[in-house]
Amino acid sequence: MKILGIAGYSGSGKTTLIEKVVPLLVEAGLRVSLIKHAHHAFEVDQPGKDSWRHRQAGCAEVLVSSSRRWALMGELRGEREPTLEEQLRRFSPCDLVIVEGWKFDPIPRIEVHRSGSDARRPLLFPDDPHVIAVATDEPLDTRLPQFDIDDARAIAAFIRDFVAGREGRPRLAAVPD
């Protein structure tokens, strides 16, 4: 199981890029899972529903299952947040786990950078040895592979090479001027 982070600041386009790339990876025959780090309290079920009521009653974990999907929800109840490594152990076998968030954990990652929204924020790659490529809308001064942020096919090809163990220096995609 390969792990690949998609990292960048809020508003850079990480989720949009993932939405475009995942179908291409699945179409190529890869089984893809995703883990996203949320920075705030969040709800995955609706207040008043049975599963929500069971969690409110004190259950540590609630698994909801149907003929189409299942979801496991855990309540930390004051315990420390599990590490990325601990969370990854929960996944069923797959070819690739995409990690959105956890941008400071030591995993290979593609940095997503958008000139307008990220102009005042420092790029990650100069100080992060785990960045293996950059998806951007402007040319950057780096030897890392750079991809046009809107070229999902080129980024998916790079990720397929990464999963296959061919993550050398692929052909560079054109980045708009």
Residue ranges and CATH numbers for the domains of the chain are 2-38+81-163 (3.40.50.300)
Element holding 113 (H helix, E strand) = strand 109-113
| 3 pLDDT higher than 60 | yes
Q: Note whether 137 and 176 are within 8 A (CB).
A: yes
For 98-107, what is each residue's pLDDT tens digit? 999 888 899 9
pTM reported for the whole predicted model? 0.86
For 75-93, what is each residue's pLDDT tens digit? 898 899 999 999 999 999 9
Element holding 131 (H helix, E strand) = strand 131-136
Closest CA to 8 of 111, 114, 115: 111
In the chain, the largest separation of any two C-alpha atoms, in whole Å, equals 56
| Residue 165 DSSP code | T
